[in-house]
């Protein structure tokens, strides 16, 4: 259904090594006895933008150092969501043990060590490092330990597990849309340390801005001035908050309009509308500018984002 989808079981450590490093990046895998029988399972689903992978296997230590990163750079982050067992993650000066109810967000292109016991079962949410950095400098700054027992962290944990369970029931555009929203929540949870509401005034203001933009993305007059007016803050304050988050009102509005357009292109309710009509409904002034922005954002044309039955409408 997507560019890469597999469910495999393994009886030897050698075959496991090849599949695991192919999915997560080159590394050195150590096990207690390489000649002993091995039982492992990998299930993964990937679109062009995101990936989800369920992993279970015997006791092992995975090391990804600078040499591995140079030979196999990924430009990606992974959110590790334990479902059973315990593990330990070390990256830079940070080292933490994780178990069900805890999650860790790591930059795959920074040296790290990952070790787990024989009963470990987890789902990894894989995303572009650039997409993380655009949303949150805090999330992108280094390994983030998230509390998955309450608030946003609990929503993230449950949504990650559910998305993996239901992945084969989703079209690729629907999968990407769900992952977009999941990534938004991951970054908000990282900003707030897992609290129900992101801590600090800046994070609270940023969340309100993003919520307003999401609700009014297709309004023709949506801009930084209208956002500030609607939320009761100055234009300068809105600009400063978004600058601290590594974005601007213009970029935030464009991204959200593109997300709405992608959902409409994939939806049956918009099948009778042309791409140009959908672009206009989402606030884009021209078909050409919309097509250029869409391809830059999602790596595909608007036409490719439509179900086959709808592609006759240009």
The pLDDT tens digits of the residues spanning 193-237 come to: 433 334 456 777 888 899 899 999 999 899 999 999 998 888 888
Q: What is the mean pLDDT of residues 114-134?
A: 92
pLDDT of 195: 39
pLDDT range class, residue 182, cuts 50, 70, 90 = very high
Residue 212 resides in a domain: yes
CA nearest to 152, candidates 140, 139, 137, 134? 139
Residues 291 and 152 in one domain: no
CATH at 154: 2.60.120.10
What does the pLDDT look like over 71-107, one tens digit per residue? 999 999 999 999 999 999 999 888 889 999 999 999 9
Same domain, 89 and 159: yes
189 assigned to some structural domain:
no
Do 302 and 256 belong together in one domain? yes
Which residue, chain included where needed, has tokens 């009886």?
A: 11
Which domain-ending residue is among 172, 192, 217?
Answer: 172
Q: What is each CA distance from 231 to 34, 76, 79, 209, 227, in whole angstroms?
A: 60, 34, 32, 8, 6
- Tell whether 168 and 206 lie within a shared domain: no
Report the pLDDT value the prediction gives residue 309, as an integer from 0 to 100.
67
Q: Do 122 and 78 form a contact (C-beta atoms < 8 A)?
A: no
Same domain, 135 and 244: no
From 153, 172, 191, the end of a domain falls on 172
155: in domain: yes
**Containing domain of residue 17, as a range?**
4-172
Between 253 and 177, the more confident residue is 253
Q: Is the pLDDT of residue 40 over 90?
A: no
Confidence of residue 2 (pLDDT cuts 50, 70, 90): very low
Same domain, 124 and 247: no
Structural domains counted in the chain: 2
Residues 46 and 160 in one domain: yes
Nearest to 62 by CA among 84, 40, 37, 36: 40
More confident residue, 240 or 124: 124
């Amino acid at each position: 259904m997507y560019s890469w989808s597999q469910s495999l079981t393994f009886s030897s450590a050698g075959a496991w090594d090849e599949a695991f490093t192919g999915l997560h990046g080159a590394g050195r895998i150590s096990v207690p006895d390489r000649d002993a029988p091995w039982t492992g399972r990998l299930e993964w689903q990937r679109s062009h933008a995101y990936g989800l992978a369920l992993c279970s296997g015997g006791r092992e230590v995975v090391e990804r150092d600078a040499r591995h990163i140079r030979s196999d750079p990924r430009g990606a982050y992974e959110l590790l969501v334990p479902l059973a067992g315990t593990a330990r993650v070390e990256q830079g000066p940070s080292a933490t043990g994780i178990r069900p109810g805890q999650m860790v967000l790591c930059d795959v292109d920074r040296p790290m060590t990952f070790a787990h016991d024989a009963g470990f079962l987890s789902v990894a949410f894989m995303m572009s490092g650039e997409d993380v950095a655009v949303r949150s400098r805090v999330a992108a700054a280094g390994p983030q330990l998230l509390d998955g027992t309450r608030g946003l962290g609990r929503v993230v944990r449950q949504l990650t597990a559910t998305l993996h369970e239901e992945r084969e029931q989703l079209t690729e555009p629907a999968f990407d849309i769900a992952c977009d929203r999941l990534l938004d929540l991951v970054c908000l949870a990282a900003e707030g340390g897992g609290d129900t509401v992101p801590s600090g005034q800046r994070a609270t203001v940023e969340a309100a801005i993003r919520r307003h933009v999401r609700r009014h993305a297709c309004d023709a007059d949506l801009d930084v001035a209208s956002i500030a007016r609607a939320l009761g803050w100055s234009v300068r304050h809105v600009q400063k908050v978004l600058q601290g988050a590594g974005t601007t009102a213009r970029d935030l509005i464009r991204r959200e309009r593109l997300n709405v357009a992608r959902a409409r292109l994939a939806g049956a309710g918009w099948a009778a509308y042309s791409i140009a009509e959908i672009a206009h409904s989402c606030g884009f002034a021209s078909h050409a500018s919309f097509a250029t922005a869409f391809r830059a954002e999602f790596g595909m044309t608007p036409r490719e984002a439509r179900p086959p039955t709808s592609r006759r409408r240009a």
